[in-house]
Structure 1
Amino acid sequence: MLQGNVQPQELIQAIRSVEKHIPPSSIPPPHPDEIFYVECHPDPDTQKDVVLWDDILQAFENAVHVRHRAKIVPFLKGKDLRILEPRRIAVMLDTVLDVIVGSKEGSSPTSVSERTAPGLLQEAENTDRVTVVSQDNITSTTSVRRNPVYGLVETAMENYTHIDRPLAFPSARGPHAALDDLTPAVKDIPTNPRPDDDNNSQQRGPQSATANVSMELQFARTIISAGEGDKDAQVALGDMYKDGKVVPQNYQTAMDWYFKAVEQGDAAGQQRVGVLYDEGFGVPQNYSTAMNWYLKSAEQGNAAAQYNIGGLYHYAHGVPRDYAQAMKWYLKVAEGGHAGSQYNIGELYYFGRGVRQDYAQAMEWYLMAASQGHALSQFSLGVLYDQGQGVPQDDTQAMDWFLKAAQ
């Protein structure tokens, strides 16, 4: 979804400035505030979509060349191998290109935002052009499109006046299992110890260079789409910052991106904000606030939020423990194939919480989740066979399920 004056058929190239002395290996992933957008044009000579070098110079007057990671992006050449005039480079969509800049003599700023005093960079409303007012009161206009500016996070809270939005974020607590759609919470420990439900905690070998490049490309595409107002991309970008994938973990930045999606009424964004409060990630832990966000999301049919609400009732987080309510919310999504809810329903039957203890029913629900690769359900099936609970005791079957879970 594009916003502002960007039309669906319009091509734009994302760029940012990088100091000449910084080696490619030391350059961090692009941040939304660093990104500018330059219009692309069809090239009559090469039939390619191109960006004009002069347009790049309007954004970064000290530009030296353009680079994509460690590779310099060349100017387009004609059949005689001479650089075409006016100078231009081929467009690389879904990629944030690095414009390498050198400092002007006697000064260090290199980008438009750095060359102007605070408050002097003004983006005209309903226009694609940025007016730069210099300290000598000389104005100039460029065709560079700045990353869209959204309202403050507090704006999203106008319709949620019963929920507090923190003005400042304290240091985050240590990580623990999040009640989201990916990490079922397990807090009832049976006689036989059960591992934490965190399939992502297993150690992984180092990623290949190809995988790293793919992740960087995914991040570039996500950050461009999020900046243009795509709410799904905004939630995905928030997830990257929450989990510390590709970028350093930053719960405040994650919250900010989730709220951009919430401003558009997005249910997934509401659920993610609830998770941050539920877990106390970047904010004081507040189950009541988490519940309010989950309910907003669940009203729109968000399965993860419905599962989260079941978890709050299951473990008496912010509400009185109510296994019947937990079962009600789990069933809303379990019947649709949500593995975490299926597992938790199995747990309720296994321990006889809110229902009559029934190992056969527990096995049915464990099997549904286990068939989707849910490791804890596979482990639980191993326990049933190992103990002969609801089924004849069978060491072979127990070992088979334990191995599936271990893998």
Structure 2
Amino acid sequence: MSNSQHTWQPQAFRQVYNDGSMAPLSTTVNVNPRFDSKTEEYIILWNDVLMAFKKPLHVRNGDTAIPFLTDENFEFIHPLRIAAYPGIVLDVVIELPAIDTGEALRMMSSPGYSSISPTFSNYPYSPVSESKTCIIPPPPLSPTSPMAPMSPISSTSSTSPIPAMSSDPSWSQRQQSAPQDYGDGSVEPFWVDSPERGPQWTCGESISGGSTDDNTQSTNECYSEDRYVDKYENVLDQAERDIITNYNHGVAYFDGKDIPQNYIIAFEWFLRAATQGHTDAQDKLGCIYNNGMGIPRDYSKAVEWYQLAANQGYAKSQCNLGFMYESGFGVAQDYTKAIELYRKASKQGYATAQCNLGYMYENGKGVIKDYGYAMDWYLKATKRGHARAQCNIGYMYERGTGVTKDYSEAVDWYQKSAEQGFSSAQCNLGYMYENGKGVRANFTTAVKWYQKAADQGHARAQFNLGSMYKNGQGVPKDMAKAMEWWNKAARQGHSKAHRQLAKHSNSCPVS
């Protein structure tokens, strides 16, 4: 029986690591089987697997390792081969080597260090798209007909661009108490003093342009800012492609969208790219150390990685490093140094740094207090759609800080910020609707905005929402729900929520 009389399918393989995790951005590789006339079965030559994958350990079908085929004496048949499994994607297992992070930092800090690809990290920062580094992934491989006679290996790309995600770390240590106290009455939907209005470090940018790094309130997330610029493909050498691949692998594991999230593996991939001079990978390592994600929190190491990227002119790291100096995390507190770094990033059009500068001027940190300059910097940031800056401007108009008090203008700015999902603006907007400031009083709309902020974990919105339930304002009166929301706020240290719980129930634990 001839080979041509048999129907066959290409054998599909995918790459996995020996710890059981899936390789990110993996391309499914099709290997054409060979027909063994003796056994009249299709087989896969091991040499064909070696052509497609780097240093494979073995091949698995699920949890079962596939052995090499043997003869009647159980000797391996040469050339080495395994059985084909038509219709099944087999796993090619490779090793994930560990990296000595201390040695990597020491190497990069040495006087003679230079990155493998020094030009790569110097792609210009664009103030239009906020793309500090052009991240160009390896191009997808085009599917090839399994009958192609030239090579037994064909590829089907399963790679898709990973969208950048925005994030904002927790600011509980920087939240300010409200300047007004509305007493200890049973209704305490008091003013929210924009607790997120201070400086912030950033771990992600919007892929679509416009700084939205502050627009969500999820904690401890650091996402990619992948940029796919096909026109640069032809000028990248293999070393640069390897850097990009390492970075994108880290993004995939950190993101956890298409594969199980694993911060430790993400850290290792980012470290590979970072030691090769990739500035965003260096910044991501700073974020990981700053948050203690998968590894112990270490502000000093975070500062080291931010410094490496900042020294290359990377705006996001300059801003992050500025925050470390402003807060005294991992370094001695130094407002002057923070201002210097914020200015460097702001000159590149980095909206978060512009917002931070506005905060420094508003509060006289490292500079003479100047509300005019504060407003100028906030406005610069809002040109990029920066939600926190929009909220801060709304706060200045609501309070009449450096501007004529204007509730309607405040509502407009809060609305812009709230519609981007910024929880402090949502809470503030709820307050304006509840109290009829700049808008017609509307308890239902107030509850809607409190709910949006409370669902993001905003403590004061949770407290205010509880008060609305207690008094039946915009919602049916429901003391159980009031206690539930006060409980959530109290768990975050909200003192008025604690008092309300103590006042209305001696048996409602705060866990």
Q: Deviations over 1:136-168 (max 9, x none)?
A: xxxxxxxxxx89932359x99xxxxxxxxxxxx
Do the aligned partners of residues 193 and 235 (structure 1) sit closer, same or farther apart at CA in structure 2, a change above 3 Å counting?
same
Do the aligned partners of residues 318 and 276 (structure 1) sit closer, same or farther apart at CA in structure 2, a change above 3 Å counting?
same
1:368 and 2:416 correspond: yes
Given the two structures, how large is their TM-score scaled by the length of structure 1?
A: 0.58
Q: Tell me which moved more, 298-307 or 351-360.
A: 298-307
Instruction: Tell me if the contact between 1:50 and 1:90 (Cα under 8 Å) persists in the aligned partners.
Output: no
Q: Deviations over 1:52-76 (max 9, x none)?
A: 88xxxxxxxxxxxx9xxxx999798
Q: What secondary structure sits across from 1:336 in the alignment? A: coil
Equivalent of 1:250 in 277, 298, 306: 298
RMSD in angstroms over aligned alpha carbons? 4.5
Residue identity in the other structure for 2:411: M
1:49 and 2:47 correspond: no
Q: What secondary structure sits across from 1:97 in the alignment? A: coil
Residue identity in the other structure for 2:438: G
Q: Deviations over 1:350-372 (max 9, x none)?
A: 10011100000000000011001
Structure 2: distance between partners of 1:84 and 1:242:
53
Instruction: Give the Å deviation of 1:298.
Output: 1.3
1:333 corresponds in structure 2 to 381
1:387 and 2:390 correspond: no
Point out the structure with max Rg over C-alpha: 2
1:151 corresponds in structure 2 to 109
Structure 2: distance between partners of 1:299 and 1:73:
57
1:189 and 2:168 correspond: no
Residue identity in the other structure for 1:338: H
Q: Where does structure 2 lack aligned partners over 5 or more consecutive residues?
A: 1-14, 20-45, 81-90, 115-166, 181-189, 197-215, 221-255, 456-511
1:402 and 2:446 correspond: no
Q: What secondary structure sits across from 1:253 in the alignment? A: helix
1:96 corresponds in structure 2 to 96
Residue identity in the other structure for 2:439: V
Residue identity in the other structure for 1:194: V
Instruction: Give the Å deviation of 1:217.
Output: 3.7
1:235-274 alignment to 2 at 5 Å?
235-274=283-322
Residue identity in the other structure for 2:284: A
1:218 and 2:218 correspond: no
Aligned residues with identical type, % of pairs: 32
Q: Deviations over 1:82-125 (max 9, x none)?
A: 59999xx9574xx8336xxxxxxxxxxxx9x9xxxxxxx9xxxx
Residue identity in the other structure for 1:227: T
Do the aligned partners of residues 213 and 201 (structure 1) sit closer, same or farther apart at CA in structure 2, a change above 3 Å counting?
closer
1:205-354 alignment to 2 at 5 Å?
213-354=261-402
Given the two structures, how large is their TM-score scaled by the length of structure 2?
A: 0.47
Q: Where does structure 1 lack aligned partners over 5 or more consecutive residues?
A: 1-12, 17-23, 25-42, 54-65, 99-110, 114-120, 122-145, 157-179, 203-207
Instruction: Tell me if the contact between 1:298 and 1:306 (Cα under 8 Å) persists in the aligned partners.
Output: yes
Structure 1: distance between partners of 2:77 and 2:66:
6
Do the aligned partners of residues 326 and 45 (structure 1) sit closer, same or farther apart at CA in structure 2, a change above 3 Å counting?
same
Q: What secondary structure sits across from 1:405 in the alignment? A: helix
Q: Deviations over 1:215-266 (max 9, x none)?
A: 3443332222212221111101111101111211101111111122123221
Structure 2: distance between partners of 1:381 and 1:299:
32
From the two aligned structures, give the one with the greater strand fraction. Answer: 1
Residue identity in the other structure for 2:333: Q
Structure 2: distance between partners of 1:201 and 1:84:
55
Do the aligned partners of residues 308 and 90 (structure 1) sit closer, same or farther apart at CA in structure 2, a change above 3 Å counting?
same
Do the aligned partners of residues 394 and 345 (structure 1) sit closer, same or farther apart at CA in structure 2, a change above 3 Å counting?
same
Q: Deviations over 1:358-390 (max 9, x none)?
A: 000000000011001111111111111111111
Residue identity in the other structure for 2:47: P
